[in-house]
Every structure is written in structure tokens, then in C-alpha cells.
Amino acid sequence: MLIETERLTHIYSPGTPWECWALEGITLSWKPGSFVLIAGPSGSGKSTLIQHFNGLLLPSSGRVLIDGEELGSDKAALGRIRRRLGLVFQIPEQQFFAETVFDEVAFAAANLGLSSAEVARRVKVSLERVGLDYEQFRGRSPFNLSAGQQRLVAIASLLPLELEALILDEPAAGLDSGGRRQLALLLADLRRQGMTVIVVSHHLGDFISLADQILFLERGRVVAAGEVEGVLRRLAQGYEPYLPPVTDIMRRLVLRGAGVSTAVFELAAAREEIVSWWGGNSG
Amino acid sequence: MLKTRGLYFSYRPEGGTPFALAGIDLEIYRGQHTAIIGPSGSGKTTLLKHFNGLLGPTRGEVLVSGRTTSCTSQLPSIRRICAMIFQNPDNQLVATTVEEEIAFGLENYRVDPKKIREQVDWAMGKLNISHLAAYPPHLLSGGQKRKVAVASAIAMQPQCLLADEPSSMLDPDSRRELQELLRSLQRELGLTLLQVTHYLEEAALADRVLLLDRGRVTADGPPEKVLTDLGRLHAAGLTSSTAAELAALLREEGLALPAGIVQNQELVDSLCLLKPSG
Ligand SMILES: Nc1ncnc2c1ncn2[C@@H]1O[C@H](COP(=O)(O)OP(=O)(O)O)[C@@H](O)[C@H]1O
Ligand SMILES: Nc1ncnc2c1ncn2[C@@H]1O[C@H](COP(=O)(O)OP(=O)(O)O)[C@@H](O)[C@H]1O
Ligand SMILES: [Mg+2]
Ligand SMILES: [Mg+2]
């Protein structure tokens, strides 16, 4: 799915004392099948931006185009987009309504007019893909799960649909390191199937090895955008706490005069880089 | 300060689900900063809620400053001793302005209005949010909401703060700011701080780390010990901090790094110190 914006501006509560320019003139274009990370301090406009991609919010000025078609107030067109593009909210509880995990995950699939056996099969597969045991969780109330489990259920509930794009708002918040790894594997799998994936995350490290593109926002404006290496180089100048931990270790080594590359995000690559520096003569 | 004896807890005591807490014997000392880590669903929130009596044991006992939480007449005083900061700040916000929000808990205890005013102002000052006093809390950013939640908790002048993943929704800058703030409150006011976190770099700053796995404490000790026990962490489905994991890989490659590395800078310092000059 081709996702584009042209000089997108969003103003909350215009003309009131709480008027807030959440986005100011954002222009971007992401090719179908892209894996995009959106990062930036809280309040920088990340959640506001992604809610424009399925028309939950409409621009104060500028345009949003999905596969070349402008999103506007046309209800039928918005309905079509929402069947192709799924959004997982920051606080998953806000999107639950069913009494059991099974019904929550089955809802979208049942709406596709599938047989109940096929719905049950898709629910089972979806729960297992996010790492939740079907027998253990199917009868539980989604409201009584731990926060991390709730997030996994929210993601599972979108998997039975055959989406072209999936957008997740801070999916790693509240997940333990095992859950974050599981989520990264799932997203890698979706990407391999050609899905466009957009992830909002403060922690670039969790998904960096999957990303084609990073967009870094601050106060509604773009600080850096584009391919991973270039953006990380920019973030190393004043936005260090946002760097993936491995990249931060390499950066600190370079500051101490070590001859290592900073364009490294994964443990295995860091090990090689450090071992060869350690054995070598330079630095 | 806080004590559990043979603590078992089930959300459905009639059976059907495993115990969320399955035999916990703990003592938390006054003024200590303890981090609780563990995979999702391991019982961290459930344990925290036992220390201010939001949940009561199915079996066993929980004591707060010698008072048992199983006795309902003790609950009001227990809740003044132990203030809770919940995982999702939105669920905690009840008032239409920040200062009413912070006063809310005190009003429930029928504290004298003049005293309430004083404590609210003091708490807002401590958190640097006095300028937000008249602001509607639901329009604040995630980081600001967290600060309001912390201010509401310390306005009660508790002896113990129970903080459930206070930093999980925050960006790295706000996270560090909140961490420093909790630390300084703990030192300055002598607070006992019990904090759940998924960031092991953050747990590294505590005096003590508890690892919870399926309702049991499977490791308990100083951070440099618990956080570098990769075997136990991996068994619970967790990974340690990036620096601890990378140090372990480098040791396998024969690099003679010291034990106890958890933070990025510690790893970098050790590497630069120990590198054989070529
Ligand atoms: N419903 C709203 N009404 C008014 N202001 C809002 C609303 N939602 C967000 N904002 C403001 O818009 C800005 C961007 O918010 P948001 O998109 O949620 O940022 P992020 O997701 O990066 O934390 C912030 O200053 C926030 O306070
Ligand atoms: N209100 C509830 N009703 C039933 N089960 C619950 C409820 N809250 C949590 N649980 C279950 O209890 C276990 C421990 O949950 P919790 O303490 O929230 O874990 P953590 O905070 O470590 O993620 C999990 O299996 C969870 O699904
Ligand atoms: Mg957001
Ligand atoms: Mg929890």
C-alpha cells in the first residue's frame, strides 16, 4: 500500500486556549511493502500522524493519499481503506468490546462471512502467531489479562483479516523482552508476505533490523527521515538516548577512540566488529 | 516494612486457573529501592496490589508495617502508608484539573483543607508541574500524566511508593527524568520504592532486583548479580540489558571482561581499559 502525505498539518482545538499544532507540514511517501519506524519524544505527533492514515483524523490542511487516492470525508472510501489497513492503538483496552478472547479475535473474521469452523481455525492460528496458547486464553476476558497479553490479543484480532498494511502505536510498551522479540518475529513474517508495516516506537532497537525507513519527529516537525543509517547518524548528534542500544555502545567506543563502525544494530554484528577491533592494532 | 508469608493468590480460587502468585516469602526493608522484573503475566502487578490491599491473599499473609492486609479495618491506614502508581495513568485520572486530581486522595481522608492545599503545592513543586495546576489532566502528554500520578501519590506523604511500570509509555528523556526523580524522592524522603520495570537498564539502578516467573520469585539479589545471571533470565523468557548480553558473547570469544557489566558505559569502559595495546 502506497502511503503519502503532502504538507499535512493537524491542529487540535483550533481557536481555543488549548489550540495545539500537532503536525506542521509533513510530506512523506512510503512505498508498498515498506517497514517504517516512527520515533520521537512524547507529544511529537506520532499518534496524530498515524490516525490520518485510516481517516480517524482528517487534515487541518494538506493531503493524505493512499494508493494515490485522497482520504477525505467520503464514508464509503474510508470504509474500504479500513478493511485494508489495520491500526493497533497505544492502549489496547480502548479497542476491546467482547467478553472472551475468542470472540474478540473472531469478530473481524466472522464479519468476512466465513464458516464457523474456518473462523475458529483463524482464531487459533492468530493467537498462536502472537505466542498466546489457544486453549489457555480462548475463554478469558480480554479485560482481565495483563497489559502485555492485552496488546498481543489486540494484534491477534487483526491477523484473520487479509490486511495490506498494519500500523502499530507503541506496540512494545508494556511487553517484556521475550514479548518484544516475539513481536519482531511476527512483524518480520508479515513483512515477508508483502504487508506494509508502520511501527511507532520510542525504542528503535526492538525493530531496527526490520526497518527500511525511519521518521523521527519533534514538536510536529521532521527531524530526520529516510534510510536507517542516515537517520541514526543524525540522531547521534543530540538525540543519543533514542539510538538502538547496540549502536549506542559502538558510538561510545568511537568516542573513546576505538576503530569500530557505528552502523551496527545487532548483537552478532557488534560482537564481530568488537572482536576484530580487539585483535587488531588500531585504536 | 513490607512482608509476605506463604503468599498464594488466585483470581479464581474455586480453581481452573493456575495461581497468579504461588508461594512468595519476601521482606522489603525500609528505604530500599527494589525493582521487580519478570515476563508479562508473571504476577508483578498482582504482587504490587497486595501491598496496598487492593488484592488480598488466597492463602498466606501480607504485612505492611506490621499490619495485616487481611483485616479490612486496617486498609485505610495501609493505603496511606503505601501509595500506588498504576500501570496506565489514564485509569487513575478522575478530576477536571491537575490540582484537584492531586488533592483527590487527601480529600478522601478528610484532611484539613489548609493542609491539603499545602501538600498539593508541595507535591506540584517537587515534580515541577506547578504551572499545570489548572490544566485538564486528560489533555496532558503521557510524561506529564505520569508526573501528576507521582505527585498524587507523594501528596499523601506515604512511606512507600508502589510504581507499576511507571516508565513504559515514556520516551527515553522522560524515562530518565522520572527515574532520577523517583530516586531523589526515595533518598530525600527516605521512601521505600518498589518498582516494576521491563527495562533492565532501569532495574540496574535499584538496590535489589526480584525476578518473578510464573508467580514465584526465581532470583533475588543486587542488580549486578541478578541481571548478569543470563541463564535464569533466559529461562524466564527474558533477555538482559544489551550490554550484559554483548559482554557474555564477547567473553565466549575469549575477551577477559569482568563480571557484573549491565550498563553500556560499563562495557565500553572495560573494553577500552582491557584492550591489549597493539
Ligand atoms: N485530543 C487532543 N486534544 C488536544 N490536543 C491533543 C489531543 N491529542 C493530542 N494532543 C496534543 O497533540 C500533540 C501531539 O500528540 P500525539 O500525537 O499524541 O504525540 P505522540 O504520539 O508523539 O506522543 C501533543 O502536544 C498533545 O498534547
Ligand atoms: N483481573 C484479573 N482476572 C483474572 N486473571 C487476571 C486478572 N489480572 C491478571 N490476571 C492473570 O494473572 C496473571 C498475572 O497477571 P499480572 O499480575 O497482571 O502480571 P504482570 O503484571 O507480571 O504482567 C496473568 O496470567 C494474568 O492473565
Ligand atoms: Mg502517541
Ligand atoms: Mg503488570
Identity (one letter) of the amino acid at A215? L
Which residue of chain B is at minimal alpha-carbon distance from A13?
B139
Write out pLDDT tens, residues B68-89. 999 889 998 999 999 998 877 6
Indicate the angle between helix axes B98-108 and B142-155, nearest 10 degrees. 30
Predicted local confidence at residue A245, as pLDDT: 93
Residue partners of A122: CB distance under 8 A and separation at least 6: A106, A109, A114, A159, A160
CB neighbours of residue A275 within 10 Å: 15
pLDDT of residue B229: 95
- With CB atoms and an 8 Å threshold, state whether A245 touches B241: yes
- Whether residue B40 lies within 8 A of chain A, CB to CB, comes out as yes
Q: What is the ipTM of this complex?
A: 0.84
Contact between residue A129 and residue A105 where contact means Cβ atoms under 8 Å apart: no
A216 or B199, greater pLDDT:
A216
Residue of B224, B158, B226, B223 whose CA lies nearest to B193:
B158
Chain A hits for B227, Cβ within 8 Å: none
**Which is higher by pLDDT, B98 or B127?**
B98
**Where are the domains positioned within chain B?**
2-240
Of A48-52, A59-63, B137-141, B162-166, the one with minimum mean pLDDT is B137-141
Q: Does B82 touch chain A (CB under 8 A)?
A: no
CA B198 to centroid of ligand 3, rounded, Å: 19
User: Three cell numbers at B195?
Assistant: 518498582
Flag whether pLDDT at B24 surpasses 80.
Answer: yes
> What would the pLDDT profile of A97-118 be if each residue is shown by its tens digit?
899 999 999 988 788 788 899 9
Interface of A with B in 94-133 (CB under 8 A): none
Q: Is the pLDDT at B169 greater than 80, yes or no?
A: no
Residue window 136-165, chain B: list those with CB within 8 Å of chain A: 136, 139, 141-143, 165
The pLDDT value given to residue B91: 67
Top residue of B167, B275, B277 to mutate, by most chain A CBs within 10 Å, is B275
Instruction: Please state, in angstroms and rounded to a whole number, the distance separating the CA atoms of residues B278 and B270.
Output: 17
| Angstrom distance (rounded) from CA B196 to CA B168 | 10
Place of cell 474478540: A104
Probe ligand 2: pick from B9, B10, B24, B46, max atoms within 8 Å of CB? B46
Among the partner-chain residues A173, A203, A256, the one whose CB lies closest to the CB of B268 is A256
Residue B92: predicted pLDDT: 67
B86, B251, B268, B273: which to substitute to probe chain A, counting the most A Cβ within 10 Å? Answer: B268
**Residue B242 confidence (pLDDT):** 93
- Residue A281 pLDDT: 59
pLDDT attached to residue B89: 66
Question: Nearest CA to CA, how far is B247 from chain A (Å)?
Answer: 9
Please give the class, per CATH, of domain B2-240: alpha beta
Question: Residue B145 above 90 pLDDT?
Answer: no
Return all residues near A180 (Cβ < 8 A) that are at least 6 apart: A172, A206
pLDDT band at B278 (very low <50, low <70, confident <90, very high): low
Q: How far is the CA of A42 from the centre of ligand 3 (A)?
A: 6
At position B166, the amino acid (one-letter code) is P
Q: How high is the mean pLDDT in each 10-residue block of chain A (283 residues)?
A: 97 89 97 96 91 94 94 86 88 84 89 87 91 92 84 88 90 82 88 94 88 96 96 94 94 93 92 91 53
Asked if A80 is an interface residue toward chain B (Cβ–Cβ < 8 A), one would say: no
- Spatial distance between the Cα atoms of B214 and B212, rounded to a whole number of angstroms: 7
Q: How far is A72 from chain B (nearest CA, A)?
A: 26
Question: Who lines ligand 1 at CB under 6 A?
Answer: A 12-13, 18, 20, 22, 40, 42-48; B 139, 141
Contact B278 A177 (CB under 8 A): no
Mean pLDDT of chain B, nearest integer: 90
Candidate of A48, A203, A215 to mutate for ligand 1, largest count of ligand atoms within 8 Å of Cβ: A48
Q: Which of B101, B79, B83, B100 is nearest to B92 (CA)?
A: B101
Chain A positions touching B237 (Cβ under 8 A) are 176-178
| One-letter-per-residue 3-state SS of chain B | CEEEEEEEECCCCCCCCCCCEEEEEEEECCCCEEEEECCCCCCHHHHHHHHCCCCCCCEEEEEECCEECCCHHHHHHHHHHEEEECCCHHHCCCCCCHHHHHHHHHHHCCCCHHHHHHHHHHHHHHCCCHHHCCCCHHHCCHHHHHHHHHHHHHHCCCCEEEEECCCCCCCHHHHHHHHHHHHHHHHHHCCEEEEECCCHHHHCCCCEEEEEECCEEEEEECHHHHCCCHHHHHHCCCCCCHHHHHHHHHHHCCCCCCCCCCCHHHHHHHHHHHCCCC
Cβ neighbours of residue B12 closer than 8 Å, sequence gap 6 or more:
none
